[in-house]
Amino acid sequence: MSIPFIDLKTQYREVEDAVRSGIDAVLEHGKYIMGPEITELESKLADFAGTRHAVGCASGTDALMMALMALGAGPGDAVFTTPFTFMATAETVSLLGATPVFVDIDPVTFNMDPADLKRKIAKVKDEGKLRCKGVIAVDLFGLSAEYEALQQRARNNGMFLIVDAAQSFGATYHGKRTTAFGDVACTSFFPAKPLGCYGDGGMCFANSDEMDKLLRSIRVHGMGDDKYDNVRLGINGRLDSMQAAVLLAKFAIFPGEIEKRNEIATRYNELLADVPGVTPPTVPEGLESVWAQYSLLAESSEHREELMGRLKAADIPSVIYYPIPLHLQTAYKSLGYQRGDLPVCEGIAERIFSLPMHPYLTAEQQETIVTALKTAC
């Protein structure tokens, strides 16, 4: 049997009427960029996210870029982040002339390790070459980072905190949405995300009125009160109306999909309990994941290859997030990192792989997946 890694077709059948109606409305009013759907989406998602403001934009990458620009990151600044993430997290730092400083990860949550952040801050201060400007924490695979400790580290050192919630929109940290933390939180609406559109899209979340004003200006080329008076440098980061219409339709079923994702993750954990040689993911007490991915650890890279080969033979897809940590990628060779500099991250990258995860995964499909793993083990 063929099992989709992410099942957008089944989801579409659930929202087809609402999606078509929303797109037809856009075609009717003709406001394809910054139409009324944007304002409605921003209002609904800000309320859900637990923030005063939400600013829609063209992608998750643009959301990070806008946040960094609003917070004044630039040449001579150190921005601390994790190397165990997608390139966009650090890329936006570099594009603004700032320097990403990579921090190792927690071996259980795979998110930024607050203890190593403390060490890296001290190292940058001792070297005296860069200013400690900010932190970008990443909520990997749908699970919140350790925000109590990370916020304290940032504040104690006069730094901003950006939440990269591209994979965690809807997740909670001790009862609060991940998007309610930091100076700005950013998310992505790439189709594969827990809440995704049918193209690229993103959003920034903030509580500060001044930050909201800055983000809205940066989103449209630094526009001031007069749209032909550009008061700062910005980008073309607008979200289009059709994508907003899609997101409004999908957001209506999103809370139910989060529940389904957690039910599926619980079933995976139960089915995998007696499978030797694999380590299921752990959610610390007080946190709720949205399970953007369901990721296991094999015993070694060779064991992972064997497990993924067995899954492939059974026509079951699996994916590695992320095989090469950012500090070891060619684009960051100039920073001088060597293998062994971030040992936890590097070790996880050699063993991790992800199984199919979406709200429409059936119990029968999960049993088939786990049976293939048991055969390999």
Reply yes or no on whether the pLDDT at 141 is more than 90: yes
- Compute the distance between CA of residue 284 and CA of residue 79 in angstroms, rounded to an integer: 27
Residue 2 has a pLDDT of 84
Reply yes or no on whether the pLDDT at 63 is more than 90: yes
The separation between CA 39 and the C-alpha centre of its own chain, rounded to angstroms, equals 23
Residue 150 has a pLDDT of 98
* 331 phi-psi bin (left φ>0, alpha ψ -120 to 50, beta other): alpha
Residue 376 has a pLDDT of 67
For residues 183 and 47, state if they share a domain.
Answer: yes
Residue 1 has a pLDDT of 53
Distances in Å between the Cα of 63 and the Cα atoms of 58, 74, 165 are: 8, 16, 10
Q: At 206, which helix (H) or strand (E)? A: strand 202-206
Reply yes or no on whether the pLDDT at 347 is more than 80: yes
For residues 197 and 325, state if they share a domain.
Answer: no
- Pairing between strand 131-138 and 160-164? parallel
Reply yes or no on whether the pLDDT at 343 is more than 60: yes
Condensed to tens digits (0 to 9), the pLDDT of residues 258-277 reads 999 999 999 999 999 989 99
Domain CATH number, residue 321: 3.90.1150.10
Sign of CA dihedral 207, 208, 209, 212: negative
Mean pLDDT along residues 134-149: 98
For residues 108 and 222, state if they share a domain.
Answer: yes
Reply yes or no on whether the pLDDT at 377 is more than 80: no
For residues 13 and 138, state if they share a domain.
Answer: yes
For residues 134 and 42, state if they share a domain.
Answer: yes
For residues 93 and 216, state if they share a domain.
Answer: yes
Vertex 119: Cα angle to 287 and 142 (nearest 5)? 25
For residues 196 and 275, state if they share a domain.
Answer: no
Three-class SS state of 297: strand
- Compute the distance between CA of residue 18 and CA of residue 15 in angstroms, rounded to an integer: 5
For residues 69 and 202, state if they share a domain.
Answer: yes
For residues 131 and 263, state if they share a domain.
Answer: no
For residues 280 and 236, state if they share a domain.
Answer: no
Domain total in the chain: 2
Mean pLDDT along residues 332-357: 98
Does the residue 1 lie in any domain? no
Mean pLDDT of the chain: 97
Does the residue 2 lie in any domain? no
Q: Which of 210, 229, 251 is the last residue of a domain?
A: 251
Does the residue 3 lie in any domain? no
Mean pLDDT along residues 44-55: 98
Share of the chain above pLDDT 90, in %: 97
For residues 224 and 293, state if they share a domain.
Answer: no
For residues 162 and 263, state if they share a domain.
Answer: no
Banded model confidence at residue 375, pLDDT cuts 50, 70, 90: confident
- The domain of 300 spans 254-376
Domain CATH number, residue 64: 3.40.640.10
